[in-house]
Amino acid sequence: MVPLIGYWELAFVNYPIPNTKNNPPSLHLKKIFSLLYCCTSVCGFLFGQKPGSITGVVRDAATGERLAYVSILRSEKEGTATQEEGIFEMTSLAPGRYTLTASCVGYELELLENVEVTEDRTTTVAFELEPVAILGDEAIVTATRMPQSAKLAPASVALITSQQINEKHISTFDQAFDETPGVVVTRASNANVQAFSIRGASEVAGGGIGNRVLLLVDGRPALSPESAGALWNLVPLNSIDHIEVVKGAYSSLYGSSAMGGVVNVITRNPAPEPKTKFHLNYGFYEKQPKSYGDYRYNDFFTLEASHSRSFKRFSYLLDGGWKHNDGHREKSAFDLVNFYGKGAWALNGNRHVQITLNANQIHNDTPATWLSFNQPYTVAAYRKDDYQRRREYNADFYYYAIPSAKVKYSS
């Protein structure tokens, strides 16, 4: 309190005291002493308050584990961080109310408002941060046969994620490309892809000169042995992790079948814990007018299920489905039953074996043009008995090893 006394003496000595009859000196002295007493009381109250503090802990809301190195801010420029034990402390805080912010990579931002700090006391708080997924750069393997960011790939690459596929509610694999720039799919019916074109270079179903788009499943070709045409129905729609579409000629890496581009389907790996998925949808087409000659309801449905599990050294993924569609017109119906299985063994820390089995059976009508302008939903009588039945199988054995940090081989 020495500065206050010095100020008091300075004000008392230098204050002019008029000596008049109307203003006696005693009155002025009383006013001076009253003013100085008030100032001394207020300053003494302010300087006499003792600071408070805040201490707390930060935990993971899902596991309850304490989190280290979490940023705790009480303003834009002032704050602290949690220690290795997940504890933090803020000292020398003036009494009042504060808003605290906790932030950490991989967790949602959390605010604590109206945290009250009282004189000479410690306020205890607790944060529980919710984990959140961080979307990084998408990695591709098709452009250079090794994982890298899509931004660094030496080609034009389009990626379709499993989330995008689920949001579209597609029934056949080719429908996943409906919004992909540079890709045009021509269908003969719901189950048949007539042509798959990437920037004008097409793959024609059934083989022929136009086969210039290569289909890969997990990096291995899925082609018809007699015509080298892509078997689009072999793709397990319910087990797709993402799809990579490389636009442009890639014959140097994948041969002449990739002169127009490459479609690489990457399937998801078996889950560490038992996981089962079901997918069911149903719908029907609007009834055609009687004047068109086909007065009936046509419906469609999809039933799919998948299960995956991992043990110590063995993991597996099973996927099966049944798709049925009556079509919106005559000769457009199909039935598709498919199965996909993947098994993986870890022989040791650096050597792995993977076996993949894929099969489907398709029974579909042969597409035909409409009968007439007035009967667009019907076909000629001699075309009504035309249909197709196909069975497609594929087995794949994959072995890879990393004997050292500099050597890796696979077959």
- Cα gap 351→401, rounded to integer Å: 4
The residue type at 57: V
Q: At what angle do helices 25-48 and 2-14 cross, to 10 degrees?
A: 160
The residue type at 140: I
Give me the pLDDT at residue 53, please: 92
The residue type at 39: C
pLDDT above 70 covers a percentage of the chain that reads: 72
State yes or no: pLDDT of 42 exceeds 50.
Answer: no
Lowest mean pLDDT among 124-128, 146-150, 205-209: 205-209
Average pLDDT for 381-407? 81
pLDDT above 90 covers a percentage of the chain that reads: 21
What is the fold of 52-129? Immunoglobulin-like (2.60.40)
Predicted confidence (pLDDT) per residue in 193-243, tens digit: 667 778 876 655 544 445 678 888 888 888 776 666 777 778 888 888 889
Q: What is the DSSP letter of 406?
A: T
Predicted confidence (pLDDT) per residue in 73-103, tens digit: 987 778 899 998 899 999 989 999 999 999 9
How many CB atoms lie under 10 A from the CB of residue 325? 23
pTM beyond cutoff 0.85? no
The mean pLDDT value of the chain amounts to: 78
82 three-class SS: coil
The pLDDT confidence band at residue 173, using thresholds 50, 70 and 90, is confident
Predicted confidence (pLDDT) per residue in 249-302, tens digit: 766 677 777 777 888 898 888 888 898 988 888 988 887 777 665 556 788 898
> Phi/psi of residue 120, each to 5°?
55, 35
**Cβ–Cβ < 8 Å for 243, 166:** no
Architecture of the domain defined by 139-267: Beta Complex (2.170)
60 three-class SS: strand
The residue type at 365: D
CB environment 15-47: b (16+ within 10 A), e (fewer) = eeeeeeeeeeeeeeeeeeeeebeeeeeeeeeee
Among the ranges 15-24, 46-55, 143-152, 299-308, which has the highest mean pLDDT value? Answer: 299-308
